[in-house]
Amino acid sequence: MKIHSLWFILILVISSCNLPETTSISTSSPTAAPSVTARPIPTTTIPPLALDVTPLVWFAPLPPLAIVEGRNFTGSDDFMDLFKQAALWQNAARHIQVFKLYGEWVAYKATDTQLRQAVEDIQRRGIALAVEAGPLNASSDCGQGIEGFAGTDECLKIAQRIKAAGGTLTFIALDEPFFFAHYYDGPNACHWDAEKIAKEVGEYIQTIKQIFPDVRIGDTEPLAGGANAQAYTDWLDVFREVNGYDFEFLHMDIDWSRPNWTSEFTAIAQHGRLIHVPIGIIYTGNAFDKTDEDWISAAGERVKKLEIEQNADPDHILFQSWHDKPDHVLPETTDFTFTDFVNDYFIDKSALGFKREGLGANLALGKAVRVSSQLTDMTGTLAVDGDLGTLWNSGGDPTQWIEIDLGAEHTLQEISVTISQYPEGRTVHRILGKSATGQFVELIMFDGDTTDGQVLTFTPVQPMQGIRFIRVETIISPSWVAWKEIEVIDAGN
């Protein structure tokens, strides 16, 4: 069964240093940005926090940006409110050591006033300033319009605007140069070897340090496609061999559909500690999440999967979004805002994620399952892990089934199933239920044309009582039978 990834599509769109209007404009001639008149930072600036703490915590919400092809959203509505002195994220701000701005916003979208306001408030709070930047220069035969190829000129513009706004750039997080110069296989692909990429990045670092000599520069790369843990441990070693020094850090942007992403991240982190390069992880929800609650809850499940289930301790933690959600970063006192998520992470990680009990809870989360068949790395448990980025794949054509044991009899108000299917076409699915000791009875049959990612929902007229087992059977489908998620919602009585 062929599986499409929304992640790969979106990662081409949200390039922090690429032009937002179109990907066909050469990075060697960026649009001129308005100059910023420098002025002193207010005397109330708090001394910067120590930057050798573990974990080092980064915050990078998406600012309002132009709607363009492939990005039909604008970023968090209240982004600029973060930079008001009385903004309600004082507690969250105390947990954050680094605030990362998107290069696209700094270079082209932020007005003089907006950039100065952001820079001054970030530094007033004692938070270090960072940007994302694509370091590679496109050539005449490759790199045009590809993430990571924003070019030296654009990134110098970013640094110059921040300096003119009175800011000190402490960190630059490179925007996935290795992946997109080596692995990317679309239009204008370069397919450079690691040595050439390392040399290009080293030259960029020398240039940018002419403006900020003490800036710390690390890399951000996607754990996706053919780029596995070994590829990134080798990349770190090649960079050091070519340039004679290490990256300051490596941040991993995870393709959450990879079944073994936790073990891959752990392998990279172990190598990083051997060579003294901090390894970080970017926690996000899904590009297709419809609400802030969905996005924050999905991100929380990923925190638990890595840090609680695998007992991992990333060196850097990044709360970042390049998706439509969350719409709201403030206030930190309201559930499912971005700053509330930061606070909740430090209060009790085990409480993160989707609701597991009471009215509206998903009773299927983490419950025992049986399946007709499964692929080795796409097991039945992945259909009840609360993560739409993973899936159960039977590895076969219909008829196939998956059965969930809710652990006890419950009263149910809704059952929804999220399809993983390619190609699209007619499918027939049955949802059955039974008590602890009874026989399965059909609750609903879905018969019609369906597509990948579609959600089928059954809401009975009256809540169904005494249900312990749920079975989803697929009788007809043009693809192997697979489900991204099965949710069984508690009626609460």
Q: What is the pLDDT of residues 226-241, one digit of tens each?
A: 999 999 999 999 999 9
Handedness of CA 364, 365, 366, 371 (dihedral sign): positive
Cross-strand partners of 472 = 402, 431
Cβ–Cβ < 8 Å for 490, 360: yes
Residue 376, both tokens: 């080795």
What's the CATH superfamily of 368-490? Answer: Galactose-binding domain-like (2.60.120.260)
Q: Pick one of 3.20.20.70, 3.40.50.970, 3.90.1170.50, 3.40.50.620 as the CATH number of 6-351.
A: 3.20.20.70
Please list the residue range(s) of the chain that carry CATH number 3.20.20.70.
Answer: 6-351
The percentage of residues in the chain with a pLDDT greater than 90, rounded to a whole number, is 80
* pLDDT top residue among 52 and 115: 115
pLDDT digits (tens, 9 = 90+) for 130-144: 999 999 999 999 999
- 478: which DSSP letter? S
pLDDT digits (tens, 9 = 90+) for 458-485: 999 999 999 999 999 999 999 999 999 9
Cβ–Cβ < 8 Å for 149, 27: yes
Given pLDDT bands bounded at 50, 70 and 90, which one contains residue 3? very low
Residue 480, CA atoms < 13 Å, CB-side half-sphere: 16
CA angle 331, 256, 422 (to 5 degrees): 120
- The answer to whether residue 22 scores a pLDDT higher than 80 is no
CA angle 380, 384, 389 (to 5 degrees): 90
Q: How far apart are CA 174 and CA 220, in angstroms?
A: 6
pLDDT the model gives residue 49: 56
CB atoms closer than 10 angstroms to residue 331: 15
Residue 330, both tokens: 């403030």
pLDDT the model gives residue 324: 94
Q: How far is CA 76 from CA 244, 322, 323, 352, 372, in A?
A: 40, 10, 9, 21, 43
Given pLDDT bands bounded at 50, 70 and 90, which one contains residue 386? confident
- The answer to whether residue 36 scores a pLDDT higher than 60 is no
User: Helix, strand, coil shares of the chain as percentages rounded to 5?
Assistant: 30, 25, 45
The mean pLDDT value for 303-321 works out to: 97
The pTM score is: 0.83
Helix (H) or strand (E) holding 57: strand 56-60
pLDDT the model gives residue 21: 33
Q: Strands, DSSP E only, in 255-313? A: 279-283
Please list the residue range(s) of the chain that carry CATH number 2.60.120.260.
Answer: 368-490
Token look-up 């319009």 returns 145
The CA-based dihedral angle spanning residues 11, 14, 18, 24, taken in that order and rounded to the nearest 10 degrees: 70
Q: How far apart are CA 23 and CA 188, in angstroms?
A: 11
Span of 158-162, 194-198, 310-314, 318-322 with lowest mean pLDDT = 158-162
pLDDT the model gives residue 389: 82
Amino acid occupying residue 244 = G
